[in-house]
Amino acid sequence: MVCDRIMTITLATPAVDDLGDAVAAVRSWQHEGAPMQLHSGDIGWFQRSGAVATAAALRTWSRNGEIVAVGLLDEPDVLRMTIAPDLHRDEELGDHLAADVSDPERGVLPSGKVNIEAPRTALLHDLLAAQGWPTDEPWTPLRRDLTEPVEDPGVRIEIAGHELAAVRVAVHRAAFDNSTFTVEKWETMAAGPAYSDARCLVAFDDDGSAVAGVTVWSSGAGKPGLIEPLGAHRDHRGHGYGRAMSLAAAKALQEMGASSVIVCTPSSNVGGVAAYLSAGMQALPEVRDRMRTS
C-alpha cells in the first residue's frame, strides 16, 4: 500500500486485497437521512473495469488505522467521495482532504480542471469554496421509501445472472451510446466484493424482447440501496419502460431489505427525472460538484 502521512491522517491507494475494506467502510456509512454520497454500489459498478483498475482509482483516508473517508476517481479528473458520518465537520480531516485534493503532488487529482463530489454537509465544501472553487452543474437526487408495498412494474422482469448476462449487456449497450460494457466486464463486476449485495434485472415486452435493464446495489438491511445504472433500449423508448424498471428496482431492493431506493441524475436529464418521479420517487434538493477551473 502506498501511503503519505500528515498529522494522524493517512492517505492511501489501496491494494487489490484491500478493496473489500474500502467497500465495507462505504457500505457502513450509508444511512437514512444521509446527504447524497458515494455508495458501495458506485464502487461495484466501477469494478467492471477490473480489480486492479478499481484499486488504482480509489483513495482512502485513515485515522489510527481506521478508514474515515473514501474517494473514487470515476474519471481521472473526477473524484467522488464520502466521509464517516460523524466526521463531516472534523477540522483535521477537512484540512487534510482539502490539501490532498488541491495539490497534484499528493496523487489524488491532477492539475488543471477537476471536479469533486462530496456530501453537501462536509467541511470540505466550505474549505474549497474559500480557495475559490465554484460549483458545477446541478444534479437531482431522488429517493423512495421502501417501508410500504411497491406497485407491480406491469412487465416481465427477470434477474440477470450468468445465464442472462449477455442479455443484460446487450440492453445496456442499446440504452447508453458509446458503452463499452461486455459480458467479460459483467463477469468481472459480478466477482467484486460489492456485488454480493447487488442484482441485475432485465425487463421484457410481450414479444419477449429485452427493453430495459438496471443494476441495484444494497448496502445492507435497513439502509438505502442504489440504482446504478438504469437504461431503456433506444428502440423501445416512450412506452413507460423507464418507470417499470424503476419500480422493479425498488421491489428488488425491498426484497433485499433496503430501507429506501436512491438515485442521482443530472438535472438536465429531464426525461430521466420524470421517469423516476412517475415511479414514486421524490426529488431531493439539488446537489453540485465543486470544481477547479484551471
- pLDDT tens across 23-59, in order? 999 999 999 999 999 999 999 999 999 999 999 999 9
Residue partners of 11: CB distance under 8 A and separation at least 6: 3, 4, 5, 59, 60, 61, 96, 100, 106, 107, 108
Q: Rg of the Cα trace of the chain?
A: 19
Q: Is the pLDDT of residue 64 over 60?
A: yes
User: Would you place residue 2 in the very low, low, confident or very high pLDDT band (cuts 50, 70, 90)?
Assistant: very low
Pull the grid cell for residue 28: 457502513
Rounded to an integer, the average pLDDT of 16-28 is 97
Q: How far is CA 144 from CA 49, 132, 147, 203, 267, in A?
A: 30, 35, 9, 20, 18
Pull the grid cell for residue 89: 465537520
pLDDT in tens, 245-276: 999 999 999 999 999 999 999 999 999 999 99
pLDDT value, residue 3: 46
Q: What percent of the chain is modeled with pLDDT above 90? A: 97
Q: Three-state SS for 277?
A: helix
Pull the grid cell for residue 189: 463486476
pLDDT in tens, 206-244: 999 999 999 999 999 999 999 999 999 999 999 999 999
Q: Is the pLDDT of residue 169 over 50?
A: yes
Structural domains of the chain in order of their starting residue, each with its CATH number: 2-137 (3.40.630.30), 144-287 (3.40.630.30)
Residue among 35, 48, 23 nearest 200 (CA): 48
What is the DSSP code (8-state) at residue 77?
Answer: T
β-pairing, 282-283 vs 78-83, is: unpaired
pLDDT value, residue 218: 97
Rounded to an integer, the average pLDDT of 134-147 is 98
Q: Is the pLDDT of residue 5 over 90?
A: no
pLDDT in tens, 88-107: 999 999 999 999 999 999 99
pTM, 2 dp: 0.95
Q: Is the pLDDT of residue 4 over 80?
A: no
pLDDT value, residue 8: 87
Cross-strand bridge partners of residue 215? 200
Rounded to an integer, the average pLDDT of 114-137 is 97
Q: Is the pLDDT of residue 7 over 80?
A: no
Cross-strand bridge partners of residue 159? 201
Sequential DSSP letters for 255-266: HTT-SEEEEEEE
Q: Is the pLDDT of residue 148 over 70?
A: yes
Rounded to an integer, the average pLDDT of 63-85 is 97
